[in-house]
Copies of this chain bind each other. A is one copy, B any other.
Amino acid sequence: MEQYLYEQAKKKILDLITTGKFQPNLRIWNERLLSQRLGYSRSTIKHAINSLVSDNILEKRTGDGTYLVDAEINNLLEIGENSPNSFSQVTRINKKTSSSHVESFKVVYYDPTQRHLFGDIEEFYELIRTRMANGKVVALQRSYIPFRKFSDAHRYDFSKLSLYDYMDNKNQKPVNFNTSIKAVERSSISLQMNLIKEKYLLYFEYLGYTKDNELVEFTKSWYDPNTIEFAMNIKY
């Protein structure tokens, strides 16, 4: 069990986080206290903390303290944005076998992040799926569809049935998409995807509209940048 002291210290701090000793958005112990309680020099504690900061788990505020971060996404660079232009898009996963796993599927109420999109609708199905390719998680998707239109969705298994096939059966398949693409720093999503070594994820946000231009889907996706390609070709 060879390990540098700062790695040991990092692990101990992570333990304090996972056991709930430190709470999101709140200050953790200061460097001198960590040094004393964990038994490493302040420099070593500093090294461990810096590592956790670059992992996007802690945040330092000079003159104030070190905080446990909560944010799921930290916008770094926005590449796509909604606008009234037409194009087509292909996303390719360079793998042979693919599958889905439903992590969570439930009704959620009044998510303020969706309220401005869906207007007065207050109930949604939230479908969280991981997408696998050759047994490895390559994407995490969170889809929101209005309960009002898809009230029987709970009867289906969306790890096997395509969400779009289901929506198509109800004549509510989205055909127009309004997309936003960002490169996001690694976060808790990376952990869920076992991508701790990846520094960046590709983040896609879709708004799906039916042919009658009704908003029926809102999906957030996080992709492993090593397995996904966003391919396109311009023609004026």
A interface with B by C-beta (< 8 Å): 76-90, 175-179, 181, 183, 199-200, 202, 206, 225, 229-236
* 20 more CB-based (< 8 A) A-B contacts, given A77-B225, A83-B231, A183-B183: A78-B225, A78-B229, A79-B79, A81-B229, A82-B231, A83-B233, A84-B233, A85-B88, A85-B89, A85-B90, A85-B231, A86-B87, A87-B87, A87-B234, A87-B235, A88-B234, A175-B235, A177-B234, A177-B235, A178-B234
Contact A89 B231 (CB under 8 A): no
Cα separation A233 to B207 with both chains bound (whole Å): 10
Report B-chain residues with C-beta under 8 Å of the C-beta of A80.
230-232
- Identical subunits present: 2
Report B-chain residues with C-beta under 8 Å of the C-beta of A230.
79-81
Contact B176 A86 (CB under 8 A): no
* A-B pairs with lowest CB-CB distance, top 10: A87-B87, A83-B231, A177-B234, A86-B235, A81-B231, A85-B88, A85-B233, A77-B225, A176-B235, A183-B183
CB distance from A90 to the nearest CB of B (A): 6
Contact A232 B175 (CB under 8 A): no
Contact B200 A76 (CB under 8 A): yes
CB distance from A91 to the nearest CB of B (A): 11
For A80, A179, A199, A225, which residue has the most chain B Cβ atoms within 10 angstroms?
Answer: A80
What are 13 A-to-B residue pairs whose CB atoms are below 8 Å?
A77-B200, A78-B225, A81-B231, A83-B233, A84-B233, A85-B89, A88-B236, A176-B236, A177-B234, A177-B236, A179-B233, A179-B234, A206-B234
- With A77-B202, A183-B183 as given contacts, are A83 and B177 in contact (CB-CB < 8 Å)? no
Cα separation A82 to B90 with both chains bound (whole Å): 11
Partner of A86, one of B78, B179, B233: B233
For A76, A83, A229, A234, which residue has the most chain B Cβ atoms within 10 angstroms?
Answer: A234
CB distance from A206 to the nearest CB of B (A): 8
Report B-chain residues with C-beta under 8 Å of the C-beta of A76.
199-200
Report B-chain residues with C-beta under 8 Å of the C-beta of A86.
87-88, 233, 235
Cα separation A225 to B75 with both chains bound (whole Å): 12
Report B-chain residues with C-beta under 8 Å of the C-beta of A202.
77, 79
